[in-house]
Amino acid sequence: MSRELLWLTLSVGLTALIWVPYILDRIKVRGLMATLANPSRRDKEQSPWAVRLMFAHDNAIENLVIFAPLVLITDVLNIRNGMTAFACALYFWSRLAHLVIYTAGWPVGRTVAFTGGFIAQMMLLIEIFRSM
């Protein structure tokens, strides 16, 4: 497995697991049966950190939709170099930082971490265009 695909796999795994803590909070706040029931406007609000984590999860999914195809395109085109490996690692660590910082409620850090992931995506896009 290439380094790029490894970082993609780790990013997918991270994104796949983000929902667990906020569902545990939902069970704690609303109870198991209310968590299993259909959502209602009368549901108790979740903890503020859990709401931020849900937003971070949504953002992670939205960005994975861009990152994953870029990595797969580089793989299909056999573009593997230090820049692509670095970009994929940068993406993963930026997304992990974004998740932690967003959940903690540090707005400026959240934007910086998000920007790191965006830069990683642009680095991959540039490498793809350079290979043409």
Listing DSSP states for 16-38 in one string gives HHTHHHHHHHHHHHH-HHHHHSP
**Domain assignment present for 38:** no
**Domain assignment present for 124:** yes
Full domain range(s) for residue 9? 3-18+47-130
Whether residue 6 contacts residue 72, with contact meaning beta carbons closer than 8 Å, is answered with no
**Domain assignment present for 24:** no
Q: What is the mean pLDDT of residues 119-131?
A: 97
The predicted structure's pLDDT at residue 95:
98
Instruction: Supply the CATH number for residue 94's domain.
Output: 1.20.120.550
Question: Which residues lie closer than 8 Å to 7 by C-beta, 6 or more apart?
Answer: 71, 85, 88, 89, 91, 92
pLDDT band for position 132 (50/70/90)?
confident
User: Chain-wide mean pLDDT for the chain?
Assistant: 96
How large is the C-alpha radius of gyration of the chain? Answer: 17
Give 44-102 pLDDT, tens digit per residue.
999 999 999 999 999 999 999 999 999 999 999 999 999 999 999 999 999 999 999 99
Structural domain tally of the chain?
1
Q: What is the mean pLDDT of residues 89-116?
A: 97
Report which DSSP code applies to 79.
-
